[in-house]
Amino acid sequence: MSDFDKKLNEQLAQLPDSIEPSKDLWVGIEHSLLRTQQNNLEKDIKDNQVLKSRWSLSHVAKTQPLWAMAAAVAFVAVIGWFGVKPEQAQPDLVNLAEVLASQHEQQKQALLVSYQEVKPVTNDWQAQLKELDDAAEAIKMALKNDPNNKALLQMLQQVYQQQLSLIETVYNPKWRVV
């Protein structure tokens, strides 16, 4: 062993086994973690409130009263239609999906006709509408395999509502001054 190695080993032996920080760092780490968690929670609450306000019935009724009334009439008609057939213990949701699809198509066509003279604010909205149509078809196929799945029916209604909202937004955005 060389003289250098001996001196190095001696100096290494004199070093302490661990080095303590000059102040307690855990307080700062804990504070940072709590602040991050609080910020994430506040963001989640805010996002949830935004989603609730966007999709609440009162919001729809305020911004689109005719569509809210049409949806209410369609809902009452469907409930009444199933109430007339007492021999059916549980309604076949596939037939309900077909009825909803038919009503939605009529509403969509009426909306498009009402905006026939208006220029859309974007050009790629039809691709988005096609994607929503594809999603609705996938949900209808799933309903054929599981006809009593109410969650799928709700998803189908949401897709239909998104299509109508898309058309409304493309032709009559809130920020457009008339």
Name the pLDDT band for 60 (thresholds 50, 70, 90). Answer: very low
Packed helices 125-145 and 150-171: angle between N→C axes, nearest 10 degrees: 170
DSSP 82: H
Considering the chain, what percentage of its residues have pLDDT values greater than 90? 1
Mean pLDDT of 109-125: 82
Specify the range with the lowest mean pLDDT, choosing from 48-57, 64-73, 82-91. 82-91
Of these ranges, 28-32, 86-90, 122-126, the one predicted with the greatest mean pLDDT is: 122-126
User: What pTM does this model have?
Assistant: 0.47
DSSP letters for 100-135: HHHHHHHHHHHHHHHTTTSPPS-S-HHHHHHHHHHH
Q: Tell which phi-psi region holds residue 177, choosing left (phi > 0), alpha (psi between -120 and 50) or beta.
A: beta
18-39 residue pLDDT tens: 887 777 777 777 778 888 888 8
